[in-house]
Amino acid sequence: MDKIIQIIAEELNIKQSQVQNTINLIDEGNTIPFIARYRKEVTGGLSDEILRTFGERLTYLRNLEKRKEEVENSINEQGKLTDEIKQDLQNATTLAEVEDIYRPYKQKKKTRATVAKAKGLEPLAEIILAQEEKRDIKEIAEQFINEEKEVKTVEEAIQGALDIIAEMISDNPEYRKMIKQMIYSKGTIETKATKPDERSAYEMYYDYSENVNKMPSHRILAINRGEKEEFLKVKIIKDEEKILGKIEEDIIKGETQFTEYLKATVEDSFKRLIEPSVDREIRSDLTEKAEEQAIKVFGKNAKQLLLGAPIKGITVMGFDPAYRTGCKIAIIDETGKVMDITTVYPTEPQNDIVGAEKELVRLINKDHVDMIAIGNGTASRESEMFVSEMIKKCDHKVLYTIVSEAGASVYSASKLATEEYPDINVSIRGAISIARRLQDPLAEFVKIDPKSIGVGQYQHDVNQKKLEESLAGVVEDSVNKVGVDVNTATPSLLSYVSGINKTIAKNIVKYRDENGKLKERKELLKVPKLGKVAFEQCAGFIRIPDGKNPLENTAVHPESYGIAEELLKSLGYGTEDLKDKEKLVEIRKKLLDVKLGETAKKLDVGEMTLKDIIDELSKPGRDPREDMPKPILRQDVLKFEDLKEGMILTGTVRNVIDFGAFVDIGVKHDGLVHISEMSEKFVKNPSDIVSVGDIVKVKVIGIDNERQKVKLSMKIG
């Protein structure tokens, strides 16, 4: 345990006491959002991101220790455990190293060496390896001929002995370690086309090579996919001569009659046994690291999308574009309730622009629609052109924006959508989802499998279990950062609240339906299956906007109500004054003058917790997403043909990947800002510069009319 604490402390650059305290909290069953928000004094203020990494490393290192124990016991049972093996196991820092140490002692399937051992050829192998025998090797080998054991000739005996030596060389963990180090420092990955004349997305890799240690994760995943789809052959190039030389140096003791045999055996061991398995391990290791990076990028993008600024208090028309089947329309009021639904056909092949215009203008005027949310999928730009002309004919000002429709079709056909809208056609449900995403992205996106929300790269190629775990953590952190109105939230949103599972979430909604709105947080304790432990974990993340106590609409945890009330009292106010706008202004001013250290001692509370309470009392009921960039609202459309090099435009970052970012500038396809065009300074990671949802100014630096692609730059001025 001490070793695990030391490793995590060094890796995350935190104190060992912080590590120990955090492990205790995790082992007691506390959730990451709860620890991050309400146990800052215990952890020393570790953020949810650091705590997620902490949790992953803790699990890995505990599994590593468990595996070391299993391997040690297994070798010990065979009577082969030495102090050296014990030490090697103790020093191993990865599961791969532990498996390399265990390799010689593993129960093997039938191999050439196990067959040779069964034929009694191990003593001959030892003689050859010792290289001391002066008698002719053939003379020695003659003693091992045995018809019964199927050793019929001298050559067969020698070959069997050499097979045993080859496997012994292959099983040596030191050789494997040395070979891996050489490949990682000097090796290259080479790719060739399997069908050189065929066009594909992998053409840049048809004759390509790059150093193993320099290859970025997106290229590793692209090459893997190209190989899987049988467009590429992939090979690791290494200095074979040097590798063989180093092994020979260790095994061969000067010129003897055994030298040539051993040289050939070293080469056979490398080519037949070591190289294929080391290559596999290195490819697997590179893939794992690349997947980790892709999952991290996906998670970061998903978090930004989930935390997109909500646009409250408006009536929205959701516009789900299509060609043949028509554009699906759903109008929802400011609470998300469906007011009207229809289907119009302004796009190919019907091109009924007049009919569509007449119907939509009528509905916009009737329902007083403020904004139109257009899905960004098929026929999106044609629909945008139609909408930009149509809104000019409305009785009042209407704006439109493009909304990500990723996962809308997945949601439409889901069990959840059927429960929410049993009487509405599957095809219309997508338009409802698109409209609601504008009003409250978080509440809508949590209904969809996070993998389907369309940000990131290669998400279908990575380890799906790890991706799901990571994204579940991202959604959980996002939901708890914002807080959830217990009286309006859907079960899918409630189920991501710290301490609340799907069953409890359904029970809350059922309780709400039967007993009316909850007036205070402690009422949650009446919900079936929601006990004291779950209440402690969830209470601070639950919001009751019109609750009995104004603190119910803040992130102040019920365990700290006394402290918050005491603090307000010391300033001459009570909690009820938080509802009074004028008094709130006064409270805010006075809170600015609170001396943190002094007051924390007086109230017997940690400084970090007190600071959080002060922040909450200053802005009760504030939604942290208000600080996020609002969607770009448009009234007119930009055609691809209008683009000119040098144009400066405003766009929305739709996706951030390892080599840059895709920006929606209002034409059919998102433009690419390559990593080299993000800043005058060197950029190591695009997500250090931009996030999904950011509004950025970009310059058009390249237009490919044939492929309808736009190159953009953020280096302006």
Decide which of 627, 662, 696 is a domain's last residue: 627
Q: Is the peptide bond before 276 cis (omega within 30 degrees of 0)?
A: no
pLDDT at 419 over 70: yes
pLDDT value of residue 470: 87
3-state secondary structure of 566: helix
- Cα 560–Cα 40–Cα 485 angle in degrees, nearest 5: 55
pLDDT at 454 over 70: no
d(CA 673, CA 658): 11
700: phi then psi, degrees, rounded to nearest 5: -75, 120
Decide which of 606, 627, 648 is a domain's last residue: 627
d(CA 374, CA 234): 43
Q: Provide the pLDDT confidence category of residue 523 given band limits of 50, 70 and 90.
A: very high
| 71 or 640, greater pLDDT | 71
Q: Give me the residues paired with residue 657 across strands.
A: 660
Best CA proximity match to 403, nearest among 445, 447, 342, 456? 445
Same domain, 528 and 576: yes
Question: In this structure, are residues 552 and 521 in contact, taking their beta carbons and an 8 Å threshold?
Answer: yes
pLDDT value of residue 637: 67
Assess if residue 357 is contained within a domain. yes
pLDDT at 398 over 90: yes
Q: 57-71, 348-362, 634-648: which range is least confident on average?
A: 634-648
Q: Provide the pLDDT confidence category of residue 550 given band limits of 50, 70 and 90.
A: very high
One-character DSSP codes across 27-49: HTT--HHHHHHH-HHHHTS--HH
Task: State mean pLDDT over 252-271.
Answer: 94
Same domain, 321 and 379: yes
Assess if residue 607 is contained within a domain. yes
Q: Provide the pLDDT confidence category of residue 146 given band limits of 50, 70 and 90.
A: confident
What pLDDT digit, counting tens, does each position of 311-323 carry? 888 999 999 999 9
Amino acid at 214: K
Same domain, 603 and 648: no
pLDDT value of residue 416: 84
CATH of the domain at 120: 1.10.3500.10
Assess if residue 504 is contained within a domain. no
Q: What are the CA-CA distances from residue 676 to residues 222, 671, 680, 683 (Å)?
A: 20, 14, 8, 7
CATH of the domain at 525: 1.10.150.310
Q: Which residues contact 44 (CB under 8 A, 6 or more apart)?
A: 14, 15, 17, 18, 21
First to last CA, the chain: 55
CATH of the domain at 401: 3.30.420.140
pLDDT value of residue 293: 87
Task: State mean pLDDT over 464-468.
Answer: 86
Same domain, 269 and 212: yes
Task: State mean pLDDT over 247-273.
Answer: 94
d(CA 64, CA 251): 32
CATH of the domain at 693: 2.40.50.140
What pLDDT digit, counting tens, does each position of 167-213 carry? 999 999 999 999 999 999 999 999 999 999 898 889 899 999 999 99
Q: Which residue has the tokens 């939509």?
A: 360
Task: State mean pLDDT over 256-274.
Answer: 95
pLDDT at 301 over 90: no
And the tokens for 205? 């890799």
Question: In this structure, are residues 47 and 72 in contact, taking their beta carbons and an 8 Å threshold?
Answer: no
d(CA 661, CA 650): 14
pLDDT value of residue 349: 92
Eight-state DSSP code of residue 314: -
Same domain, 290 and 348: no
And the tokens for 373? 């949310």
d(CA 592, CA 117): 81
Same domain, 348 and 427: yes
Q: Provide the pLDDT confidence category of residue 463 given band limits of 50, 70 and 90.
A: confident
CATH of the domain at 22: 1.10.10.650
* pTM listed for this prediction: 0.82
And the tokens for 153? 């000739």
Same domain, 623 and 663: no
Eight-state DSSP code of residue 634: B
Q: Provide the pLDDT confidence category of residue 302 given band limits of 50, 70 and 90.
A: confident
Question: In this structure, are residues 32 and 475 in contact, taking their beta carbons and an 8 Å threshold?
Answer: no
Count up the domains in the chain and report the number. Answer: 5
Task: State mean pLDDT over 26-40.
Answer: 96
d(CA 479, CA 445): 11
And the tokens for 516? 């009316």
Same domain, 90 and 58: yes
pLDDT value of residue 455: 67
Task: State mean pLDDT over 89-114.
Answer: 90
pLDDT at 232 over 90: yes
d(CA 568, CA 614): 10
Task: State mean pLDDT over 42-57.
Answer: 94
Question: In this structure, are residues 225 and 257 in contact, taking their beta carbons and an 8 Å threshold?
Answer: no
Same domain, 259 and 280: yes
Same domain, 288 and 164: yes
One-character DSSP codes across 336-381: S-EEEEEEE--STTT--HHHHHHHHHHHHHHHT--EEEEESSTTHH
What pLDDT digit, counting tens, does each position of 325-349 carry? 999 999 999 888 899 999 999 999 9
pLDDT value of residue 406: 80
Same domain, 246 and 173: yes
Q: Provide the pLDDT confidence category of residue 379 given band limits of 50, 70 and 90.
A: confident
Assess if residue 664 is contained within a domain. yes
Assess if residue 208 is contained within a domain. yes
372: phi then psi, degrees, rounded to nearest 5: -115, 130
Number of C-alpha atoms within 13 angstroms, CB side, residue 341? 17
Question: In this structure, are residues 80 and 89 in contact, taking their beta carbons and an 8 Å threshold?
Answer: no
Provide the angle, in degrees to the nearest 10, between the axes of the packed helices 596-603 and 607-618.
100
3-state secondary structure of 82: coil
Assess if residue 48 is contained within a domain. yes
pLDDT value of residue 1: 65
174: phi then psi, degrees, rounded to nearest 5: -65, -40
Task: State mean pLDDT over 258-270.
Answer: 95
Question: In this structure, are residues 603 and 567 in contact, taking their beta carbons and an 8 Å threshold?
Answer: yes
Decide which of 439, 457, 476 is a domain's last residue: 439
pLDDT at 125 over 90: yes
pLDDT value of residue 456: 66
What pLDDT digit, counting tens, does each position of 148-167 carry? 888 899 999 999 999 999 99
Q: Name the helix (H) or strand (E) containing 470.
A: helix 464-482
Best CA proximity match to 549, nearest among 575, 515, 512, 577? 575
How many of the other CB atoms lie within 10 Å of CB of 245?
Answer: 12
Q: Name the helix (H) or strand (E) containing 412.
A: helix 408-412
Range of the domain at 697: 640-713
Percentage of the chain beyond pLDDT 70 is 99
Question: In this structure, are residues 211 and 188 in contact, taking their beta carbons and an 8 Å threshold?
Answer: yes
Same domain, 620 and 662: no
How big is the chain by its Cα radius of gyration, in Å? 33
pLDDT at 9 over 90: yes
| 136 or 647, greater pLDDT | 136
Assess if residue 382 is contained within a domain. yes
pLDDT value of residue 609: 95
CA dihedral 181, 183, 187, 190 (to 10 degrees): -150
Size of the chain in residues: 717
d(CA 471, CA 479): 12
Task: State mean pLDDT over 98-125.
Answer: 91
The mean of the pLDDT values for the chain is 91
Assess if residue 275 is contained within a domain. yes
